[in-house]
Amino acid sequence: MAYETGDGDVGARHAVLARSPDHFRLEVLSPFGALAVVASDARELVVYARREAKIYRGPATAASVGAYARVSIEVGDVTSVLLGMPPQRQSTGPASVVRDEAAGAFKLVAPTADGRALVWLEPETLLPVASETPLANGGRLRVAFGSYQTIGSLRFPHAIDMRAEPGGHVVHVRYAAPSLNTAIADDLFSVPPRPGLEELALDQYAAGGGL
């Protein structure tokens, strides 16, 4: 996983857990174990910075996601993207499908409370190859899905690129060997207080472009 900003890229190997609709856990890995853990249980979002011996804790909101990733999107959107799906939005009217000749794909257009959600589908498989989703702050979240591989009976994208606009921040995800439909214990999506670790508000976390 790599975080791209106007100042450069910051990348590292991660262990990723995600469960729909709004639970996820990211562990930043090193040869000596996890350097940091980011987890959301849909109620709060926590960043455990192991090297700093600090835990940053805040509500599970777009602002909290932006505090460490520089991409301010809801935790449900993070989970959807990690699971290889476009962010979910409630449609406020009939959807339409048109052929996008320039993209060589079908384009699904669905009205939402904040605008229009767009999803581009590969014509033969109908798998999503890109999406553009309105954000509550007036911005747009653009996601590209690629490098599909078969896992069991499912096709799953191993390359995902996410960009929130306006802004020049991009998150790149490249999966190595994902496992799907695996049971995950609830406590893995939370980080309880630990003796000897300082607790701070998540908005005090300086991401420096990402973990």
Prediction pTM value: 0.89
For residue 180, give the 3-state DSSP assignment. coil
Q: Residue 166: which pLDDT band, with cuts at 50, 70 and 90?
A: confident
Q: Residue 206: which pLDDT band, with cuts at 50, 70 and 90?
A: low
Q: Residue 103: which pLDDT band, with cuts at 50, 70 and 90?
A: very high
From CA 187, how far away is CA 191, in angstroms rounded? 8
pLDDT tens for 61-75 read 998 998 877 778 999
Is 47 within 8 Å of 205 (Cβ atoms)? yes
Residue 86 has pLDDT above 70, yes or no: yes
Class of CATH domain 2-204: mainly beta
Write down the pLDDT at residue 170: 87
Residue 209 has pLDDT above 50, yes or no: no
Domain-by-domain residue ranges, the chain? Answer: 2-204
pLDDT tens for 169-188 read 888 999 999 999 999 999 99
The backbone region for 18, taken as left when phi is positive above 0, alpha when psi lies in -120 to 50, beta otherwise, is: beta
